[in-house]
Structure 1
Amino acid sequence: MKILVTGAAGFIGSHLCERLLQDPNHEVIGLDALLETSPTPIATREHNLRHLLLHPRFTFINRNLLHVRWEDILPHIDIVYHLAGMPGVRSSWGEDFKTYISNNIEATQRLLEGCRQFPVSRFIYASTSSVYGEQLNQVNEDAITIPLSPYGVSKLTGEQLCKVYAHNLGVPVVILRFFTVYGPRQRPDMAFHRFITHIMADKPIPIHGDGLQTRDFTYVEDCVDAIAATAYAANIIGETINIGGKERASVLECIAILEELFGKKVERQFLGKATGEPRHTWADISKAQRLLGYHPITDLRTGLQAEMLDLLLPK
């Protein structure tokens, strides 16, 4: 099976490529634009690719989705995993939103056009829990979507584009909504990465709001289990599926775990509430369990320890 992964040099994308290559029947083409603007530095993305580039069944294409010639890539591709995009809630306001339009909306539409011209058996779109906005309880895929940020709007627009191409042109779309993925290689702008690096540098941990906000934390290896399962799962075309984790916790509870792991108390620096972020997230993953056989196994302490150890290693 020949598989295209966009965003292959990123946090989730690099883990997914490694997982897919564990199957000897898979050939993986990774597409990413290393020189383009991203919250993840070029050196970090190159580091993410270091093992993949040595693999005989992996091919890397360093190119922007907006400019690639699909006739050079998509013929004979069986599955497309579309993970590329501009992430981040806080940076999606103001003039910076134009990068979200180009990377999350225009690029998705262009890739869908490519898959219309060169049909694939599955098109898996990586979306986010940010499309739900503020929800009071556990949320399933039928919940109303009211994003709180321009980032959430851009990802929900990508979802709608997928549905338009599926309905009108038969593109075989599956939408996965990720809930706060963390673990080794996490982007440097994300909370756990910042917390750990601040502790390593003996700096106060910056906390937006009161720290009592909770998230459904999804360990990256659990997440890629679910993503990889879409390659063979039956009866999933046209579905939207939540991918959440094993454990929910507040920001302060996560910091307490890090204090245990580092064996020291950590100074907290409370900042104003971040604009566009929900108070709580909580995924109903019963659909993923039923359709993908998904069962996240990594508890928060184990996952945080793995991310901490990864950041402590010399790069």
Structure 2
Amino acid sequence: MNILLTGAGGYIGSNLTKELAKNKDLKIYCLSRSAINSNNEIEGVRYFNSDLASDNFPESLPENIDCVIHLAQSSNYRKFPEMAGDIFSVNVRSTQLLLDWAVKNKIKKFIFASTGNVYKTRKKLLSEKDICEPLGYYGASKYAAEQLIKPYEVFFDVIILRIFGVYGPGQKNMTIPNIINKHKNSEVISLAQNQGLFLTPLYIDDCIQMLKTILLSPLKNKFNLYNLAGSKKVHLGELLSIISNITGIKTEIKNTPDEPMYLMGNGTLFKKDFNYKSTTSLKKGLRATLLYEQTK
């Protein structure tokens, strides 16, 4: 099977490339916006550099691809409104160009990495049937891309994955690594009502195995929509307590009167349809992440 993977330089993309490269029946073509460090290149994997914000990027793509895994997203997703154009170009426009290319090249499967941020915020585990009402531009751009992708089920299998709270060793500038860094530096951490954000953390190894499973498994439908989320619902206060128990270092929390926030996914549909069982508990995942930080 020939696979085109966009966003190969990102956290999920780089980990997925390593895993898929172990399967010698797969030929992997990795596309990223910036050059992959030669030290991180994997034998047998072909790398392409192209700016997905450019309309002509499909011209550089290889032929005879069977499956597209579209993980790429704008690295400027937090910079709204000043980088709204780049967010739209990479998250929405490039998706449309890639879909056009996929039809012309007769691919068989198109996997799109979306986000839990497409949903309306609610104090419960969000299922695939819940209302989508993204609050921010990033979530709106991902939801717009989802709407563009769905009609293409008449040409190839479509899989949209709404991913919640991925974390793990080597991740940077996201919720859990930021919390770990503050803990490591003995910073006071402000949390709304001593809780902060409620989330369902998904360890990177589980996320990669889920992606691999849906890539290699037969599908029941032409259009498929799944949440990818961890099994445990937790707020940041509880997360810090687990981290403190692992490190033996107490974290000082400053209580604020703000309302806690919620972004929790119900991932049971994916696990049921693919008979998938998570392999990494939250404590085990945090321990592995903290151990990596200690060895840096």
Residue 130 of structure 1: which of 109, 117, 125 is its match? 117
Alpha-carbon shift at residue 83 of structure 1 (Å): 0.4
SS of residue paired to 1:301: helix
The 8 Å contact of residues 246 and 298 in structure 1, kept in 2 or not, is answered as no
Unaligned runs of 5+ in 2: none
Partner of residue 28, structure 2: 28
Unaligned runs of 5+ in 1: 36-44
Partner of residue 273, structure 2: 291
Partner of residue 174, structure 1: 159
Alpha-carbon shift at residue 162 of structure 1 (Å): 0.5
Residue 222 of structure 1: which of 206, 209, 216 is its match? 206
The 8 Å contact of residues 194 and 253 in structure 2, kept in 1 or not, is answered as no
Partner of residue 95, structure 2: 108
The answer as to 2:148 corresponding to 1:161 is yes
Residue 135 of structure 2: which of 143, 148, 168 is its match? 148
SS of residue paired to 2:284: helix
TM-score by length of 2: 0.89
Alpha-carbon shift at residue 82 of structure 1 (Å): 0.4
Partner of residue 215, structure 2: 231
SS of residue paired to 2:152: helix
SS of residue paired to 2:200: strand
Alpha-carbon shift at residue 209 of structure 1 (Å): 7.0
| Structure-2 separation of matches of 1:58 and 1:293 | 29
After superposition, give the CA deviation of every residue in 1:103-157 in whole Å (9 maximum; x if it has no partner): 2111111111211221211110001111112123332212221112111101101
> Which amino acid counterpart does residue 216 of structure 2 have in structure 1?
Y
Structure 1, 17-26 or 209-218: larger mean CA deviation = 209-218
Alpha-carbon shift at residue 272 of structure 1 (Å): 8.7
The 8 Å contact of residues 73 and 91 in structure 2, kept in 1 or not, is answered as yes
Partner of residue 74, structure 2: 86
- CA distance 1:3–1:147, shift in 2 (3 Å): same
Percent identity at matched positions? Answer: 27
- CA distance 1:230–1:7, shift in 2 (3 Å): same
Q: Which runs of structure 2 are paired with 1:254-269 in the superposition (5 Å)?
A: 254-268=239-253
Partner of residue 178, structure 2: 194
The answer as to 2:106 corresponding to 1:119 is yes
Alpha-carbon shift at residue 245 of structure 1 (Å): 0.9
After superposition, give the CA deviation of every residue in 1:189-218 in whole Å (9 maximum; x if it has no partner): 211111222233333335467524310111
> Which amino acid counterpart does residue 284 of structure 2 have in structure 1?
T
> Which amino acid counterpart does residue 262 of structure 1 have in structure 2?
T
> Which amino acid counterpart does residue 50 of structure 2 have in structure 1?
R
Residues matched between the structures, number: 294
The 8 Å contact of residues 156 and 222 in structure 2, kept in 1 or not, is answered as no
After superposition, give the CA deviation of every residue in 1:68-118 in whole Å (9 maximum; x if it has no partner): 5435424111111100002687x2532232221112111111111211221
| Structure-1 separation of matches of 2:195 and 2:276 | 30
After superposition, give the CA deviation of every residue in 1:139-197 in whole Å (9 maximum; x if it has no partner): 22122211121111011011011113335xx24321011111111122x2211111222
| Structure-2 separation of matches of 1:208 and 1:126 | 30
Structure 1, 231-240 or 219-228: larger mean CA deviation = 231-240
| Structure-2 separation of matches of 1:131 and 1:82 | 17
SS of residue paired to 2:178: helix
| Structure-2 separation of matches of 1:206 and 1:191 | 13
The 8 Å contact of residues 216 and 281 in structure 1, kept in 2 or not, is answered as yes
SS of residue paired to 2:233: strand
Partner of residue 50, structure 2: 63
The 8 Å contact of residues 218 and 244 in structure 1, kept in 2 or not, is answered as yes
Partner of residue 15, structure 2: 15
Partner of residue 311, structure 1: 293
TM-score by length of 1: 0.84
| Structure-1 separation of matches of 2:104 and 2:286 | 43
- CA distance 1:291–1:264, shift in 2 (3 Å): same
| Structure-1 separation of matches of 2:175 and 2:253 | 13
Alpha-carbon shift at residue 294 of structure 1 (Å): 2.3
Residue 63 of structure 2: which of 72, 75, 82 is its match? 75
Alpha-carbon shift at residue 310 of structure 1 (Å): 1.9
SS of residue paired to 2:245: helix
- CA distance 1:138–1:69, shift in 2 (3 Å): closer
